[in-house]
Chain A
Amino acid sequence: MSNITDQTLSEIIRNIKSKKLSSLEVTNAFIERSEKSKKLNVFITENFTSAIDQAKKFDETPNYELKLPGIPIAVKDLFCTNGVKTTAGSKILKNFIPTYESTVTQNIWNQGGILLGKLNCDEFAMGSSNETSFFGNVQNPIGENLVPGGSSGGSSSAVAANLTPVTIGTDTGGSIRQPASFTGTVGLKPTYGSCSRYGIVAFASSLDQAGPMSKNVKDAAILLEVISSFDKKDSTSINFKRNKYFEELTNNIKGKKIGIPKEYRVEGMPDEIENLWNKGIEYIKECGAEVIDISLPHTNYALPTYYIVAPAEASSNLARYDGVKYGFRSPGKNLIDMYEKTRSEGFGEEVKRRIMIGTYVLSSGYYDAYYLKAQKIRQLIKKDFDEVYNKVDAILTPSTPSSAFKIGEKTDDPVSMYLNDIFTVPVNLAGLPGISIPAGLDKNGFPLGLQIIGKPFDEQNILNIAYSMEEKINFKNKISDWWI
């Protein structure tokens, strides 16, 4: 049997069910490797002692009917975990201990999962490189001083470095798919309304979705099946018939129609990405699917629209951090002074920048020109997708316009950082499901991803397409354990 931490989730589950491995052996293996991997800085909070206790408990009375029998899992530190510190990567929440559990993490524990720890992320999930975290940069296991993507950078790094079998991230504009692409892993953002937002620290409520991150498509399907549920506690949770994503996973995509949007051939995109995309198209044809050229005419407007809608919602959501009931407080000479100092010292630069953008576009006299305008264009972007989905079943694009970049390379220029999300943002604006799968390496040996975008609630279809492409691509990540 191969090294425990090298195994995929489905292999570990099989080995636990056949009693070749105990939950404790698996849990210890991931803890031992994590202890040797501090340099990556993926954990904000370790939950190792408690995880060992729970693993022992599982082994005493194992229930192999569960979907995640005794599986240790680390999660992004944006999910509230009852009694375990939840920081959202921010100084303002550095000591916050929730008194409730997010629905998606509860779903994982209900199926036998064990909390291994809380993973680093950009502050309030605002960032594309994990460089805005109060708890420091995360290293990409692909290479030293390389960003792991963001905002779910601790999550992507932890999966790629084999520190957790799978994880969950959140995706507001690409925060699952972009880091997955940067680390050679799989990341899926479900349809808006599939996974409950209850107990997730809110960034932009009309865009936020939780989703699985994993080493392969099969594992993503297993985890999606666990976390996707209708939840009364989230007013935007949607009650639809969910597939048994893992059981129904098939590599038969014969006759499926896949759209290739011409607007995603953006200026200045490296040839390597263009070539990878073309290769992806060939693979899809080999799988028996039909490739159709399509147009999504408002693609170019998605990013500016996002940078109105998301900050506007964020400025409103983050109004709650005032230093009164929880979190960091900076003393002031009166109440207002306390608010202003608390927020000035408690939030990092990027978060403050976005709160300011949001406050401005919602302020009197500017609302119509910016916020209302953006909502209208969001409608046009959604209609683009509605229209092409009359002709195609899914869409294939690159996941990102570049591979992972160096730490510090883009921190001085917010707009160049925002451009990272150019291919992922339209999917959030339209509320669609999207998955990024590793598809090749660039000349430096850094992974590149392809994205498959689906119809609303059609996660099964994009999983199937990803699954059949994965077989053809046969991707191998080059990770040397340089940090150990």
Chain B
Amino acid sequence: MTIDLKTVKHISKLARISVDEEKANKLANDLNSIFEFIEKLNELKTDNVEPLTSIAETKLRFREDQIKSENIREKILKNSPDENKDFFVVPKVVE
């Protein structure tokens, strides 16, 4: 199987990472060599194997639904890339 340019562009769309033509070509090459390496897995028959979804055999724990306010709103907003004291700001989404 080979990953072509069209596929690379489709994946980059899904991953929300823009790639230019030159980068897309390089990525296609890299991905092909990585998937060539991954194809080895097809040697194994796994029809009757249960997938391993979690290594830690724990049940999810429940907790009380409590409000724990630490009043860190300002500190959190300080990390915001757009300077605004009250909200996170993004480009306009509604016309």
Contact = CB atoms under 8 A, between A and B. Distances in A.
A177 interface: no
A355 interface: yes
Contacts, number: 158
Contact of A380 (B40, B46, B93): B46
B16 A343 contact: yes
Interface string A333-356: 111111111011001000011011
Nearest to A340: B18
A315 interface: yes
A320 B30 CA distance: 25
Interface in B7-41: 7-8, 11-12, 14-19, 27, 30-31, 33-34, 37-41
Nearest to B50: A379
B44 A301 contact: yes
A301 B40 contact: yes
A408 interface: no
A232 B63 contact: yes
Contacts of B37: 303-304, 307, 415, 418
Interface SS, B side: loop
Contacts of A360: 3, 7, 11, 31
A323 B38 contact: no
Interface SS, A side: helix
A21 interface: no
A88 interface: no
A99 B90 contact: no
Interface string B33-75: 1100111111110100111111110101101000000101001
A359 B81 contact: no
A193 interface: yes
Interface of A: 95-97, 99, 192-193, 206, 232, 235-236, 238, 298, 300-301, 303-305, 307-308, 315, 319, 322-329, 331-341, 343-344, 347, 352-353, 355-357, 359-360, 363, 370, 372-380, 382, 413-415, 418, 430-431
11 contacts: A96-B79, A238-B56, A303-B37, A304-B38, A305-B41, A331-B91, A341-B18, A344-B17, A352-B17, A414-B33, A415-B34
Interface of B: 3, 7-8, 11-12, 14-19, 27, 30-31, 33-34, 37-44, 46, 49-56, 58, 60-61, 63, 70, 72, 75-76, 78-82, 88, 90-93
Given A238-B58, A378-B52, 7 more contacts: A235-B60, A335-B90, A336-B16, A343-B15, A356-B27, A376-B46, A414-B34
